[in-house]
Chain A
Amino acid sequence: MEVRSKRHGRVRVPFDCEKGMPHTEAIVKGIRVDMCGEDWPRPKDTGLKISGLLLHKLKLVRYTPWLLQEISTRLNIPSSYTAEDYTLDKMNVDTLIVGGGTSGIFALRRTKGLLIANDLETDVLLDPMTETSDLANTVKQTLKSESSRILKGDFLGKFSEGYLLRVERRLILVNPSKIIFATGGRYLPPIFEGNDLPHVISRRLYLRRRKRYNKVLVLGSSDDAVRTAIVAKGKVLTPEGVKLFSRRGLELIEEHGVEVEEVKWLRVKAKSESLEATWDKGQGKFDAIVFSPVKQPRVEPIANSGCAYKFYPNMGIYLPEHDMDGYMKECNHYVTGGGRGIWWEELSALSGTTPFDPEAVQQLKEGLKETTLRQYYTNDFITVKSPYLYGEGGYMCLCEDVTYEDIMEVVRKGYVDVEAIKRTTGLATGMCQGKACSYIAGSVTRSNSLITFRSPLLTM
């Protein structure tokens, strides 16, 4: 199925199948269609890229308000939604675990609490390098043995009455005394011309669909890029001067002879049904371009629940403010695994036990020493170039079609933090509510804060 973007009419498909991410849902004749269950078109370079800032610059628009309405009626948006409704009830939960990745599953083993997740297919079970490991087996077994304490559903955030969960058409209010945010992290699309084309996808999505792709180009500066390259037998491009590999990542590069090339710029075009990438030192045609620039924790449920976060300049990501055991003092909750920036699954599993086991804390500390996260705990901050910057073009916000150039234009005017960028360009106001773009914009502009992630965290 072919879906066009809201303003520019670009052909788009999801870059990742996480619920709530841009273009994961299409409304066809009022019905919600999961784009991840559909066939996707080959890459196509269509549509009309016009700067949203023309709205302000073209004075004519102000004298012809009917034109605005005319443009509005032409936006690529749904005409109707088929009826649906919810029931609302309450449930008693003492400890709530949000997220069903490795660390969430390991935390569940230590509590009598309840786990809620809308995706129980964690990367460990998908990656051919780990799918048969002991760890993957433990995860699988726990999913089975503890299934009565696992809800498949959404965490919708904090409301005046409590925290809201959704399981199918049921809304459930809970007031847990402790929440363990095992919300994991995500890979977000880097900046370059052509970054919104179909089949420019995240590592996670690639792991799910890899059988369909032969020739793959990998983008990224983290261990996960290396691991992707090993599975995909492709080369890795990293922005010049940005290398966030841990010791293990470097060993893997050696061991598997992964080619890592630093690039100054990258451009991608749709050419005869495939992706043609050109960079300063090379070029090639690919079926997919797979990115894992750096794993960005899903901060929005954490921030929404009143926990603090900060920009970690060493990696260009946002991290919840937490202690080594995962405790977040601002809100009295815990964060584990990818939610605190961890990407190796053994460390992730360990971090799921640190809230309950002081001995695990020391072990985790040792483990993290080998990674670029270590300076977070020692407060040694150094600024690196953003791992998202592969060029000076493309889209920053897919839902609302806001381009990189538009963002940079308001940044030059002094609107540098993500909130100010949002309010001057409309970034982060669309379907994904900033779950993708706000992190990328923040990383590129080194903003101290993101937007206010409001409830509900998914459409409700």
Chain B
Amino acid sequence: MRVVILGAGGHGLSLAYHLVKKGINDISMVEAKRINYGSSGRNAGRYRYHFYTKENVEFAKEGIPYLLKLCKDLPLNPLCMKTGYLWILDDEKSKDVISRAHSLWSSEGVGGKFLPCNDFDFLKIEEECYLAPQDGSFHHDYLSLGMYEAIKDHVKVIIGEAMRLKVSGGKIVGVEVNGSIIPADVVAVTLGAWTGHFMKRNGIEVPVEPEKKEIFVTEDLKFRVKPLTISKRIYFSHTLKGEIIGGVEDEVPRGFGELDISVERSLSFTRTLRSLVKGAEGIRILRGWSGYYEMTPDHSHIMGFSDSWPDGLYVDAGYSGHGMMFSPYSGKIMADLIADGVKNKFTKIFSPQRFEENKLIDERMVI
């Protein structure tokens, strides 16, 4: 079986990793820039069980333990660590959302607890907080490069932009890259935020849109912000090397653009952080960068294939800002589907067909 994977981010690499494990030996990866150029090299490296919908919580209940297992196996150490997520309930909206979610989470066995924020030494505020202790952090580069390192001698990496799918008799036969056709029996599209754009170019509607998000890293400060802390303005947490990493929570118009950062958000991030964290009153940012959230209409990912597509075409994308943590597990599900025809229940729940069939998932927790 000749498999061509488009996009070498966490999801493409994980799919390749799992296919190699199954003994598939004709795998090519097509990457426009460099391995991990996309969101997989630009994210905050946090994992959680805590989503708004049952579907995503249940996906996480399988996906996160799988991530934690892989953390122990890869040639690089992705530094998986349980840190918790901490919501500062500083407005009615967050109180409302968390209270409702709390009953779902409890019934799913991942309930957290309400507590005063000043139970946490690092916080300077007198609000109510909600701690979800099961969640945690990892190092995004070590995760994706760890998967790459494990298989790099078994896959071919082609640097170039995937342009057109080649279809014959209702089947995928190849994909055009750098002006020539790479023959393929299977093409897996793991293009993250670029998925919608690529598919549209090939006449197929897959609703994934880019939303630019900025993220910042501060100077070193002695480790204290263990949980990923979420206020209505910003989210932030410590890295193990001493920086505080985080971003601003705001709505940004969809679309591709410059991957730069704005003065306004940089200042807004530092000012809010300084007002919340003890000892950080004058902390500065070291650098900022941006990446795309890969937004779908229901803020949930798309995996599998649609009956209306050519045979051999698969998609795994659209994680709407929470896809790094799921890359190990999704790659496994996709590899089972592609190599063995095994349909995991989640390929049905998160199927691309749900948009035509109007079976949307009402996910609201995009962090």
Contacts and interface: CB of A to CB of B under 8 A. Distances in A.
7 contacts: A75-B220, A77-B222, A77-B242, A81-B279, A423-B141, A424-B145, A460-B284
Interface stretch (A61-69, A248-256, A337-345, A375-383): A61-69
A456 B72 contact: no
B45 to A, nearest CB: 13
Contacts of A158: 260
A454 B289 contact: yes
A33 B149 CA distance: 42
B287 interface: yes
Across chains A and B, which 7 residue pairs bring their CB atoms closest together, nearest first? A80-B279, A77-B220, A81-B282, A83-B281, A459-B284, A160-B262, A454-B287
Interface of A: 6, 30, 55-56, 59, 61-63, 65, 68-69, 71-73, 75, 77-86, 88, 158-161, 164, 171, 173, 400, 413-414, 419-420, 423-424, 426, 429, 431, 433, 452, 454-456, 459-460
B219 A160 contact: no
Contacts of B240: 68-69, 71-72
Contact of B220 (A6, A82, A161, A456): A6
A81 B261 contact: no
B71 A159 contact: no
Given A80-B221, A85-B271, A160-B260, A75 B242 contact: yes
A159 B260 contact: yes
Of A68, A81, A413, the most chain B CB neighbours within 10 A belong to A81
Of A30, A65, A68, the most chain B CB neighbours within 10 A belong to A65
Where chain A touches its partner, the secondary structure class is loop
Contacts of A419: 34
Contacts of A431: 219-220, 286
Where chain B touches its partner, the secondary structure class is loop
A429 B287 CA distance: 9
B36 interface: yes
Contact of A424 (B80, B141, B241, B270): B141
B284 A78 contact: no
Contacts of B220: 6, 75, 77-78, 431
A80 B279 CA distance: 4
A221 B222 CA distance: 41
A232 to B, nearest CB: 35
A171 B289 contact: no
A80 B281 contact: yes
Contacts of A86: 267
Of A6, A59, A62, A88, the most chain B CB neighbours within 10 A belong to A62
B282 A459 contact: no
Contacts of A85: 271
A456 B285 contact: yes
A400 B220 CA distance: 11
B79 interface: yes
A167 to B, nearest CB: 15
Interface in B253-307: 258, 260-264, 266-267, 270-271, 274, 278-289
Given A65-B82, A81-B221, A426 B241 contact: yes
B76 interface: yes
Interface in B8-56: 34-36, 41
Contacts of A413: 149
B77 A73 contact: no
Contact of A83 (B77, B141, B263, B282): B282
B306 to A, nearest CB: 35
A161 B264 contact: yes
B75 interface: yes
B77 A82 contact: no
Interface string B68-101: 0001100111011110000000000000000000
Contacts of B219: 78, 81, 431, 459
Contacts of B142: 56
Contacts of B72: 59, 62-63
B223 interface: yes
A73 B121 CA distance: 15
Nearest to B257: A160
A65 B262 contact: no
A55 B142 CA distance: 11
A330 B220 CA distance: 35
Contacts of A452: 289
B286 A88 contact: no
A159 B263 contact: yes
A80 B274 CA distance: 11
B282 A30 contact: yes
A248 to B, nearest CB: 40
A433 B286 contact: yes
B279 A79 contact: yes
Contact of A455 (B223, B260, B264, B283): B260
A431 to B, nearest CB: 7
Given A78-B220, A81-B283, A173-B263, 17 more contacts: A6-B220, A65-B79, A69-B81, A72-B238, A75-B222, A78-B222, A79-B221, A81-B219, A81-B279, A159-B266, A160-B258, A160-B262, A171-B263, A400-B241, A423-B145, A455-B260, A459-B219
